[in-house]
Every structure is written in C-alpha cells, then in structure tokens.
C-alpha cells in the first residue's frame, strides 16, 4: 500500500492521497520548481495531462519546495495538475517513498503508479544529474 499523505496545494489548502482512492494515481517527484530540468519534466507531463484525464487517472507533482513556490508565475505557467509541497517538515513524504536525498536536501526524480486501491504497481527513481553531467545516486 502506498504511504498516505496530506500535502499543501496552493489552490486547495491540502490534498490528501486517501481522497483519491478509487482512481489510478501517478505521483511524480521532482527536485524543485525553479530548476530547469524540473520545469522541462513538468512540461512533459503537462503535455500528457489530457491523456491522464481521458483515462480517469490523477497526476500529482511533488517537490520539497515551499508551497508558495508551486504557485504559477510568468516563468512557470499554471499546471493542469496539482503541484504539492512536501515542505513542512521538509521532505516528510519523500522518505516514505524512498526517494529523499539527504545530502542534496531534495527528492529524486521519481514516478510511482498507484492502482485504484492505492497499491504501488510501478516505481522508478532516477539519478540526480549535476550541471557537469555527472550523476549521484
């Protein structure tokens, strides 16, 4: 069973995983909102948002950023899916999914697919690449 959570969402105060039972859920962990690769990662999922809707699946983005940083701005347009803040305490949910990187203080890029009952059916975490192109695990 996927670890439950209630995370800050700027438009709804908090979003609870338990409230999404009965539909497939895709959890997308990303580093931080302002980082270029994270923005590209979120844009890719944004491009696929209609397909998730068509399949009645919920897509949620999660980072350790402060909730205010997930609000849309000129640099980051409004997302078609919720961007949640795993901020207080910083990284409370990411460790439960095994993707918190203590040294870097961020969640790894990762995807979790939950079925309608909340069971994790797929998960994949990716290495964090530095600007120079080397990766850490």
Query: 2-50, pLDDT tens digit by residue?
Result: 988 888 766 656 778 877 878 999 999 998 877 888 888 888 888 988 8
Q: Are 80 and 88 in contact (CB under 8 A)?
A: no
Determine the CATH number of domain 6-12+21-136.
3.40.30.10
- Nearest in space to 69 (alpha carbons), one of 42, 96, 34, 38: 34
What is the three-class DSSP state of 96? Answer: helix
* pLDDT value for 136: 46
Cis peptide, bond prior to residue 18, ω within 30 of zero: no
Structure tokens at 118: 């909340």
Domain boundaries, the chain: 6-12+21-136
How far is CA 128 from its chain centroid? 15
Of 38-47, 61-70, 89-98, give the lowest mean pLDDT range.
Answer: 61-70
């Amino acid at each position: 069973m996927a670890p439950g959570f209630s995370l800050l969402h700027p438009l709804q105060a908090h979003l609870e995983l338990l409230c999404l039972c009965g539909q497939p859920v895709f959890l997308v962990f990303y580093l931080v909102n302002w980082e270029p690769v994270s923005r590209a990662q979120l844009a890719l999922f944004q491009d696929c948002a209609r397909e998730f809707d068509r399949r009645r699946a919920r897509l949620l983005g999660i980072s350790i950023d402060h909730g205010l940083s997930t609000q849309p701005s000129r640099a980051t347009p409004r997302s078609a899916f919720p961007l949640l803040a795993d901020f207080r305490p910083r990284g409370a949910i990411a460790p439960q999914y095994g993707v918190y990187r203590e040294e870097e203080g961020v969640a790894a890029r990762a995807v979790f697919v939950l079925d309608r009952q909340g069971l994790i059916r797929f998960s994949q975490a990716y290495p964090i690449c530095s600007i120079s192109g080397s990766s850490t695990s």
